[in-house]
């Protein structure tokens, strides 16, 4: 048996599992997206083919564009904040001589262990208008006189949802940046110090260029995940107030599972979302990742 055939044979169980677990739902969603599937059709068990009609209806829906705009804002805010914070905190926990850095390093993975839905519930408790602890802290610090409705105000709701998401996903980025920092040779810093470079110069000329690759990876991964945010929205705002926090994944969910349960349109919107994430990942790979790895 040739090496190629043997390798194929060894990979076959994994391919079959992936095909069943991932492939089947994806293909079935594709099938649903080009059929008329509502509660009545589900009851009858007959799905009429309607071509691209579901896709057309999604694009004509103003709520879809609102959701897309909110998703874009959410993604830009969370990804940019995460990258800046991840680099800053990774540099902080890299300070071996500072005892508080050791405590931070110990605690940093804690949020990553919290399930997304539990994280959403924790933060909705924290944001609560009536008895939330964020308002209590601000009251105690004398910063506010009246409680702020963080998640209930259309102007602040979307940004209020970004904080729990950043809180939960930041450790992943920090760990990646910290690992990359460990890989930078110390000699570079020592030579730079001999040449008279200060801390800022060392960061600009050595640290940042050496982190470009990992930052590009974080950018790709976090953008894809932030674009599909769902759990925090479900637990904290459920898309509200009004449509202030409707994001793309929430749109797909509501179209599918809220009456009148349009499974076809929901699948079409999910496909559009997946396509967007795919295109974005490809663009990142083409213009960001390749450039920094060359």
Partner 1 sequence: MFRPSRTGRLMLHVANLMVIFFILLPLAAVFVGSVQSEKSLQADTHRLLPIEFTADNFIVILSKGEHKGRIFEQVTYLPDNIKSFSRSSRSCSARCRPTPSRASAFVGPCFYCRPTSWRVSCR
Binding residues (CB under 8 A) for partner 1: these are: 88-89, 92, 95, 97-98, 100-101, 103-104, 107-108, 110-111, 119, 122-123, 125-126, 130-131, 133-137, 139-140, 147, 164, 167, 186, 189-190, 193, 199
From CA 150, how far away is CA 159, in angstroms rounded? 9
Q: How far apart are CA 62 and CA 59, in angstroms?
A: 8
Which C-beta is closer to partner 1: that of 181 or that of 288? 181
What is the four-CA torsion angle of 120, 124, 126, 127, rounded to 10 degrees? 130
Nearest approach, Cβ of residue 77 and partner 1 (Å): 16
Two tokens, residue 150: 């963080």
Shortest CB 116 distance to partner 1, Å:
13
Beta strands in the chain (DSSP E): 35-36, 48-49
Sign of CA dihedral 15, 16, 18, 22: positive
Q: Give Cβ neighbours of residue 18 (< 8 Å, ≥ 6 apart).
A: none
Q: Which residues, at least 6 apart from 235, have a Cβ–Cβ distance to it below 8 Å?
A: 117, 119, 120, 121, 123, 124
Nearer of residues 39 and 88 to partner 1, judged by Cβ: 88
| Closer Cβ to partner 1, 101 or 238, answer by number | 101
Residue 49 or 99: the one with the smaller Cβ distance to partner 1 is: 99
Could you give the angle at which helices 208-227 and 62-93 cross, rounded to 10 degrees? 150
Q: How far is the CB of 230 from partner 1 (least distance, A)?
A: 19
| Of 244, 254, 252, nearest in space to 274 by CA | 252
277, 225 in Cβ contact below 8 A?
A: no
Q: 11 or 140, CB closer to partner 1?
A: 140
Q: Which is nearer to partner 1, 84 or 137 (CB)?
A: 137
Q: How far is the CB of 278 from partner 1 (least distance, A)?
A: 33
Report the nearest approach of partner 1 to the CB of residue 104 (Å).
5
Q: Taking the complex as a whole, how short is the minimal distance between the CB of residue 121 and partner 1, in angstroms?
A: 9
């Amino acid at each position: 048996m040739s090496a190629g055939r043997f390798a194929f044979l060894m990979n076959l169980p994994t391919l079959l599992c992936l095909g069943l677990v991932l492939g089947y739902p994806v293909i079935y969603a594709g099938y649903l997206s080009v059929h008329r599937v509502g509660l009545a059709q589900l009851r009858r068990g007959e799905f009429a083919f309607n071509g691209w009609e579901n896709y057309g209806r999604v694009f004509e829906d103003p709520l879809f564009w609102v959701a897309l705009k909110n998703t874009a804002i959410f993604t830009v805010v969370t990804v940019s904040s995460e990258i800046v914070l991840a680099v800053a905190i990774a540099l902080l926990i890299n300070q071996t001589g500072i005892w508080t850095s050791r405590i931070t390093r110990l605690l940093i993975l804690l949020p990553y262990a919290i399930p997304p839905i539990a994280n959403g519930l924790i933060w909705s408790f924290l944001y609560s208008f009536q008895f939330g602890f964020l308002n209590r802290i601000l009251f105690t610090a004398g910063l506010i006189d009246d409680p702020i409705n963080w998640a209930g105000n259309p102007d602040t709701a979307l940004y209020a949802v970004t904080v729990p998401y950043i809180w939960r996903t930041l450790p992943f980025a920090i760990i990646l940046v910290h690992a990359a920092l460990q890989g930078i040779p110390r000699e570079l810093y020592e030579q730079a110090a001999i040449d008279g470079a200060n801390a800022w110069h060392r960061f600009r000329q050595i640290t940042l260029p050496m982190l470009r690759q990992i930052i590009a990876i974080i950018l790709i991964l976090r953008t894809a995940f932030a674009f599909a945010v769902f759990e925090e929205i479900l637990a904290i705002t459920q898309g509200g107030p009004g449509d202030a926090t409707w994001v793309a994944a929430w749109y797909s969910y509501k179209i599918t599972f809220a009456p009148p349960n349009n499974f076809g349109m929901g699948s079409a919107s999910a496909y559009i979302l997946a396509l967007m994430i795919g295109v974005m990942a490809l663009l990142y790979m083409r213009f960001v990742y390749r450039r920094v790895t060359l």
